Amino acid sequence: MHRLFVALRPPEAIRDPLIDTMEGVEGARWQSDEQLHLTLRFVGEVDRALANDLASALEAVRAPRFALQLRGVGTFERKGRVGSLWAGVEDSEPLNILQRRVERACRAAGLEPVTRKFVPHVTIARVNSSTGPISGWLAQHSRLALPVWQVDAFHLYESRLDAGGAHYEPVVAFPLTG
Ligand code: 2AM
């Protein structure tokens, strides 16, 4: 089985300032450079045949390149408490269009639909009950505004878990069109 998701990979000029935010919360599990991504669609565990069908369906997605800007920070809750810190995304219609086309491709490949609202974000850290206060970090980065990111491809990623944590590997790149 393969644990897959579809995501954008930020270039170095975007990853570097994200990495610069990774301090000031005691005990946070900061994401590594290779882990930084923006998920368009979480797929989960699929067998090889479905993974191949999915790759073919994604191959057929046509969407234009676009400019995206990461802006501000936020949190997601997990089990009733904050579970992650992330950078948000300036509202982007081209991003929403790409996400909808990716979702359609996933359904065409036979995946169950995802109905949860798409909240684009780049996870910066995992936190839990033993992590120190996050309010100072949230205040410090509330006006985060990264350089414009020219998105020219999306990727099928494989997630592998080992003792060191989650490794995210982009396994197929799908270029956006002119
Ligand atoms: P997260 O970073 O906000 O946790 C790989 O695990 C990627 O898929 C991560 O970006 C993760 O989002 C996302 N992800 C994991 N499980 C998910 C789920 N059940 N629904 C939606 N996204 C999920």
In 10 A of CB 3, how many CB atoms? Answer: 16
24-80 pLDDT, tens digit per residue, is 999 999 999 999 999 999 999 999 999 999 999 999 999 999 999 999 999 999 989
Taking 80 as the threshold, does the pLDDT of residue 178 lie above it? no
Residue by residue, DSSP assigns 81-145 as: EEEEEEEEE---HHHHHHHHHHHHHHHHTTPPPP-SPP---EEEEE--TTS---HHHHHHTTT-B
Contact 42, 74 (CB under 8 A): no
Angle formed at CA 55 by CA 118 and CA 90, multiple of 5 degrees? 25
The complex's ipTM? 0.89
Domain that holds residue 71: 2-175
Band the pLDDT of 159: cuts 50, 70, 90.
Answer: very high
Contact 55, 89 (CB under 8 A): no
Task: Output the domain CATH number for residue 118.
Answer: 3.90.1140.10
Ligand 1: residue of 34, 40, 42 to mutate (most ligand atoms within 8 A of CB) is 42
Asked if residue 159 has its Cβ within 6 Å of ligand 1, the reply is yes
Closest ligand 1 atom to 83 CA: 4
Retrieve residue 107's tokens: 């359904």
Taking 80 as the threshold, does the pLDDT of residue 103 lie above it? yes
* Number of domains observed in the structure of the chain: 1
Separation CA 178–CA 174 (nearest Å): 13
